[in-house]
Amino acid sequence: MNLVVLLIIFLLLGYVLADTRLGRKVDQAAEGAASSSKNLADRVEARWKAMFRRGSQADALRAWAANPESGLPDEIKTWLGGLSERDLRDFNKALANYSQGLGFNLDTLVEGGLDHEPILRQVFVEAIVVYSDAYRKAKKALEEAEAETQKEAAPPDGKKPAEKQASRRKRDQTAEAAETAPVA
């Protein structure tokens, strides 16, 4: 009988404590732990996708940019549509790194994860527009510099430089060795 009374007392004490501040603090801590573990799981998932879906991620970026609801200017849409697969992958990788530095996730934007946050989405799209313009200008400047370097390396009169030949002494030694070698 004493055991039943003791059990009832502990149950009442547990109920009272759960309804007080201590119980609320425990509930808040549990909710915080659940949300932080969900955030960690989302980040791990995004990183996993970024590591193992390089080609499809670039294609997804192109498809998202072509969508009228993306918010990108037509010139950037046209530029992205005209990139080769390699150039698109390079740009996508650079844009993902830039976005990550800003605290954004490019996959989240492309997959529609920011559709419910229009202000954040607009800021991210504006950052992409600015970065795209800078990327195109830098790429063009590098190509022009490379073309200029190749132009300077070419001979001025258009003639090919003379090809070097083996020295006469080496040729003579090679010929003598061939003549004196035993025939099998």
Q: Which amino acid is at 26?
A: V
Beta carbons of 66 and 32 less than 8 angstroms apart = no
What's the CA gap between 181 and 184, in Å, rounded?
A: 9
Residue 61 has pLDDT above 70, yes or no: yes
The 3-class SS string of 110-177 reads HCCCCCCCHHHHHHHHHHHHHHHHHHHHHHHHHHHHHHHHHHHHCCCCCCCCCCCCCCHHHHHHHHHH
Locus of tokens 């990108």:
72
pLDDT of amino acid 38:
80
Over the stretch 95-132, which tens digit does the pLDDT of each residue have?
888 888 888 888 878 878 777 888 888 888 888 888 88
36 CA to centre of own chain: 24
Residue 29 has pLDDT above 70, yes or no: yes
